[in-house]
Amino acid sequence: REGPWKLIVNGRDATSGGTASPDDAKLFLANLDEDPTERRNFAAADPDIVKRLRALHEAWAGEVTQRSR
């Protein structure tokens, strides 16, 4: 999460009836300022934010993995 942006990986996409598309590891980007109920997926409209948040998540996951060894 960063500011109003929240990236959910493999999340339920409420815009498609609650099912994740089989062709991707579903990325759901929420903007909590514009849509506090998290029903609209902003991922397609804001790919640069998805890329930035995904990189932050991968860095965090790498740190957590290293600490658990």
Q: Six-digit token pair at 50?
A: 């998805």
d(CA 47, CA 61): 21
pLDDT at residue 23 in the model:
45
Asked whether 7 and 28 are in contact (CB, 8 A), the reply is yes
Q: Is the dihedral of CA 42, 45, 47, 48 positive or negative?
A: negative
Whole-structure pTM value: 0.71
Q: What is the pLDDT of residue 25?
A: 60
Q: Please determine, for residue 62, whether its predicted confidence score (pLDDT) is greater than 70.
A: yes
Summarised one tens digit per residue, pLDDT across range 6-46 is 999 875 555 555 554 554 568 899 999 999 999 999 999 99
57 forms bridges with which residues in the sheet?
none
Q: What is the pLDDT of residue 40?
A: 95
Asked whether the predicted pLDDT for residue 49 surpasses 80, the reply is: yes
